[in-house]
Structure 1
Amino acid sequence: MTDHRHPDRFQLSENLNISRVLTGLWQVADIEKDGETIDPNTGGDWLEAYARHGFDTFDMADHYGSAEIIAGHLLARSADTRPLAFTKWCPPPGPMTADVVRAGVEERLHRLGVDRVDLLQFHWWSFQYPAWLDALHELTRLREEGLIAEIGVTNFDAAHLQVALSDGVPLLTNQVSFSLVDRRAAHQLSDLCARTNVRLLAYGTLCGGFLSERWLGQAEPSEITDWSKMKYKRFIDVTGGWAGFQSILSAADAIAKKHDVSIPNVATRWVLDHPAIAGAIVGARLGERVHTDDNLRLFSFALDADDQARLAEAFDNTTGVPGDCGDEYRRPPFLTASGDLTHHLETIPLPHTATQSPHRTDGKQVLSGSKWEDIAGYARAQQIGNRILVSGTTATAGADRIVASADAEAQTTYVLDKILAALAALGATAEDVVRTRIYIVDEADVEAVSLAHGRVFGAIKPANTLIVVASLIGGYRVEIEAEACLESDAGRDQGL
């Protein structure tokens, strides 16, 4: 066995050479949840101990308690080769003006006590609110200004990551859940990473500590008190329950014994072996438990073909986590520490509001603010009774900017978000859509556009027409209109 004194490293960019095991600080929020904060100098001492072992890349967020402040005390001690501090900005949906975005970044700079954020990772709650793309372009400008070294996102699915990349945002990373239990990132996101320069930072690799010897052969816990385990117990439940989880744990234990390492080593090594992964984030319970020696052991062995086959056999005893990465924050089943986020999501303001039709007592309309609505005389959406008609919609950001001008699939994703936003203003969802009509300019785009349409409507299956036309005004690659039908009270009562 090779003796490793320091963790392997990954050259993420010219600016960032990272430890392949990042130290995650999200549990600071859990430690401080009762109102008592960690002394920042003491916290800095704890982080310094990790850095001395080579675990010098720290991951945090604006809402991880005082994690940014603690990291700032560590950075202030360092000279030329200071540790790296990656943080996240998770604003509530709303207009993302230059001033709003700058204020969010400057708060990160102030809390960290630095002139430049090493990696600023952006999170967005609802893609139906299109200002997320505005925010990313503003972050790009701040990167050019020197306030940010690199830009990443967190909990983006493959479709919206593709929109951002195709629209010219220089994203470097996407931080997502990835583990022996949650294997979603090995699919669409990894395929996209193989075609681009984006790499994944994996969190949840140890499922909040469940992927360890401590839980091998143990009875299912009846009560969980810390946020991390509350979250990842939901992942275990949705993928087949405790029995399926124990199958994975048993396979990992056999592999660990074979290589004389720990179950966490096997779980982390499996994630790191995926080519899309730049690093795995292992949470630190500051002041309570330090796992640096054990984490170093995961660089002393490799998983062979037999190990992979043993794990694959265990995976067959479980089911996949539904949807794509990040969906757990935006739709059921909500797999978060606090559980169902419906109430939180319902507090997010809608990008549009419906108004009474000026000409029909049984009608409502939605106006998006486009200048063409007044010039041409139309509404983004019109409701008559329980019937909703959505006008032809293109991938337009702001007044007239074409989003992802060369990518029909990305345009379709953006267009469908706009359609769903118009429907939401009238109390409708994708499940209420009964017809879509798609117009494209290039027959070669049929499959790409259909894939994007299927991601939204695959289980709903509205009637659909797809037409190739000579051109679309403005140079767009795709335009879509939709029709929805709200369910009547009688239909709901009968379960129809």
Structure 2
Amino acid sequence: MTTPTRPDRLRLSDHLEISRVLTGLWQVADIEKDGATIDPEIGAAWLAAYADQGFDTFDMADHYGSAEIIAGHLLARSDTPRPLAFTKWCPAPGPMTRDAVRAGVEARLERLGVDRVDLLQFHWWGFQHPAWLDALHELTQLRAEGLIAEIGVTNFDAAHLDLALADGVPLLTNQVSFSLVDRRAAGALSDLCHRRGTKLLAYGTLCGGFLSERWLGQPEPEDINDWSKMKYKRFIDVTGGWQAFQGILAAADKIARKHEVSIANVATRWVLEHSAVAGVIVGARLGERMHVGDNLRLFSFQLDTEDHGRLEEAFSTTRPVPGDCGDEYRRPPFLTASGDLSHHLDTMPLPFTAKDVAGRDDQQRVLSGSKWEDIAGYARAQRIDNRILVSGTTATAGADRIVAEADAGAQTTFVIDKILAALDALGACAEDVIRTRIYIVDEADVEAISRAHGRVFGEIKPANTLVVVAGLIGRYRVEIEAEAVLRR
């Protein structure tokens, strides 16, 4: 077996040709957690050592300690072609005005010391607040101005990635968890990427280090103090527990010995071979062992039919991770280091506010700000005692912009988010919905609309009526109303 001297590369766009193994800088925050920061010139020298070996694509974020500053020092000393710096912007939830988005991007430019961000990846905590779509359109404008080369997102599920693309946002990548344990990205998200031409950047491929020889045949750990392992141990638990995980490790070990590589190589290679995956992100502990030799062995072999069969057999003894990609940050079970994000999500601002109805102590209403609510005299939603009625809702952003005009499924996703936001303002949630009514203009849209409805209500199964009508006001393809009853 001959080990390559350089990692494989992939041209993502006219602007970007990447190493298929990206060097992740999230551990900079862990190194600096006690207050001391890495000297940026020393840090840049460590990054240069990776770049010299062909690992010249770096992934970071606004909250990864001084990672952006360190990368900036590397870029300042590099000739053309210089290394690539991909960063994430994770703004606090709230209105995403033009000024707010520009300020977020300009902060990245300043810390990196560049005129253009190679890939700006956007993260948003909850899709009920529609400001996420506003932000992506503002980022699109900044891309047109030359401040961003390409736009990506992080932890988007298939439905909301599709919605953004259908609404005209030129998203190049989506960064998600993907591993032998967490195989969600191989489903609907990969299918969407194949249809749309978007690519995945995969993290968590080694499950915080659990996918390695160190844990093969070992007893289940009782006390874990490492934040990364705390997170990925939750993935192991929810997919069947330690014994089922050992089955995956044992299968990967047999494959590794066959190809004379490591379990980590097998785990990462399995992700890399998915056609929707552009690259995998491998964390770097700056100043410590680089693992360059082991990472290069990723490109010395391929998994064959026998290998895939052995892994599929191991997978059959496990359960899938609940939900779609990114759900671990937005709904229980929270598969994060702390295991609970409810305190964080409870602080997110709601797009709508419930107001008491004068003279009625058992009645509240929600207004969305549409001019038609005053002209026609109606509310987005009404709560009377424990019953909630939501008016017919369309895919309208702001005052009058129609979202995803040509895509009924994407419109349905936006509409249901809007309905859930109104319910949330009145103290209800999707599980409280007992009836939905759907009006559509084209019978050909039935399946796309039904799948978008089923994504949210598949387990809840409210009563439902769907009818084809002659037309809706405006160029909308779908309108939905809902009823809910609070039983708690």
Q: How many residues align?
A: 488
What SS does the aligned partner of 1:285 have?
Answer: coil
> Displacement of 1:253 after TM fit?
0.8
Show the counterpart of 1:401. Answer: 401
TM-score, normalised to structure 1's length?
Answer: 0.97
Residue 207 of structure 2 is aligned to residue 207 of structure 1:
yes
Q: Residue in 2 aligned with 1:454?
A: 454
CA separation in 2, counterparts of 1:374 and 1:292?
64
Partner of 2:66: 66
Partner of 2:284: 284
1:94 to 2:114 alignment: no
1:44 alignment counterpart: 44
Partner of 1:467, secondary structure, is strand
Q: Distance in 2 between matches of 1:161 and 1:401?
A: 19
What residue in structure 2 maps to residue 467 of structure 1? 467
Whether 2:289 is the aligned partner of 1:273: answer no
Task: Please say if 1:342 is aligned against 2:342.
Answer: yes
d(CA) in 2 for partners of 1:104, 1:227? 27
Corresponding residue of 2:412 = 412
CA positional deviation for 1:3: 3.2
What letter is aligned with 1:59? D
1:178 Cα offset (Å): 0.3
Structure 1 counterpart of 2:405, one-letter code: S
Q: Residues 279-309 of structure 1, C-alpha deviation per residue, up to 9 Å, x if partnerless? A: 0011111122311111001101111100000
Aligned AA (2:97): T
Secondary structure of the residue aligned to 2:38 is coil
Taking only aligned residues, the RMSD between alpha carbons, in angstroms, comes to 0.9
1:85 aligns with 2:75: no
Percent identity over paired residues: 80
Measured after TM superposition, the shift of residue 92 of structure 1 is: 1.6
C-alpha separation in 1, matches of 2:252 and 2:265: 9
CA contact (8 A) 1:129 1:350 kept: yes
Matches within 5 A, 1:236-315: 236-315=236-315
Unpaired runs of 5+ in structure 2? none
Residue 29 of structure 1, CA deviation: 1.4
Q: Distance in 2 between matches of 1:277 and 1:266?
A: 15
What do the CA deviations read for 1:229-251 (whole angstroms, capped 9, x no partner)?
Answer: 11111111111111111111111
1:38 Cα offset (Å): 1.6
Distance 2:417 2:3 in 1: 51
C-alpha distance in structure 2 between counterparts of 1:306 and 1:286, whole Å: 37
* Counterparts of 2:430 and 2:222, CA distance in 1: 37
Instruction: Answer with 359-368 or 345-354: which moved more.
Output: 359-368
C-alpha distance in 2 between matches for 1:29 and 1:333: 25
- Structure 1 residue ranges (4+ consecutive) displaced by more than 6 angstroms after TM superposition: none
2:10 and 2:226 map into 1 onto residues whose CA distance is 32
Cα separation, 2, equivalents of 1:27 and 1:317: 33
Question: Secondary structure in 1 aligned to 2:484?
Answer: strand
Moved more, 32-41 or 330-339: 32-41
Residue equivalent to 1:384? 384
What is the match of residue 222 of structure 2?
Answer: 222
Aligned equivalent of 1:492: none
1:2 CA displacement? 3.3
**TM-score, length of structure 2 as denominator length:** 0.99
1:170 is aligned to 170
Letter in 1 for 2:35: G
Is 1:134 the equivalent of 2:134?
A: yes
Task: Specify the alignment match of 2:428 in structure 1.
Answer: 428
CA distance in 1, matches of 2:290, 2:338: 26
Secondary structure at 2:118's aligned position in 1?
A: strand
Name the structure 2 match of 1:491. none
* Structure 1: 5+ residue stretches without partners: 489-496
Residue 144 of structure 2 aligns to a residue in which SS?
helix
Shift of 1:359: 5.0
Counterpart of 1:117, as a letter, is: V
- Work out the CA distance in 2 between the residues paired with 1:287 and 1:212: 22
Asked whether the equivalents of residues 75 and 83 of structure 1 are also in contact (C-alpha less than 8 Å), the reply is yes
Given that 1:30 and 1:227 are in contact with CA atoms closer than 8 Å, whether structure 2 keeps it comes out as: no
* 3-state SS of 2:10 partner: strand
SS in 2 for 1:298: helix
Q: Deviations over 1:111-154 (max 9, x none)?
A: 11111000000000010000100000000000000000000000
Deviations 1:439-480 (A, max 9, x none): 000011111101000010111111110010000001100000
- Determine the structure 2 residue equivalent to 1:494: none
Cα distance in 2 for partners of 1:470, 1:34 equals 64
Q: Which amino acid aligns with 1:231?
A: K
Deviations 1:141-185 (A, max 9, x none): 000000000000000000000000000000000000000010000
In structure 2, distance between residues paired with 1:486 and 1:452 = 24
